[in-house]
Amino acid sequence: MTLGGFVGGVIFWGAFNTALELTNTEEFCVSCHEMRANVYEELRRTVHFSNRSGPGVLSRLPRAA
């Protein structure tokens, strides 16, 4: 039982980590129609999108050089 729980936990952690890595991109975040066609285009025209010292469009993601 304990070994099964440990193995299950490792598998869950691996799957969770993989899912986070695959979805941790700006392209993924704006890939839905609602974000790409409306919100993201409006945000690109604001000072918040190009602010180099503060949060970017998606503050948890690193900015591409």
Which tens digit of pLDDT belongs to each residue from 13-64?
Answer: 999 999 998 888 778 877 877 777 777 778 778 777 776 665 554 555 555 5
Q: Which long-range contacts (CB under 8 A, 24 or more apart) does 27-33 make?
A: 29/58, 29/61
pLDDT of residue 54: 53
- Entry pTM: 0.48
Report the distance separating Cα 57 and Cα 51, nearest Å: 9
pLDDT confidence of residue 47: 77
Cβ-defined contacts of 57-62 (< 8 Å, 24+): 57/26, 58/26, 58/29, 60/24, 61/24, 61/25, 61/26, 61/29
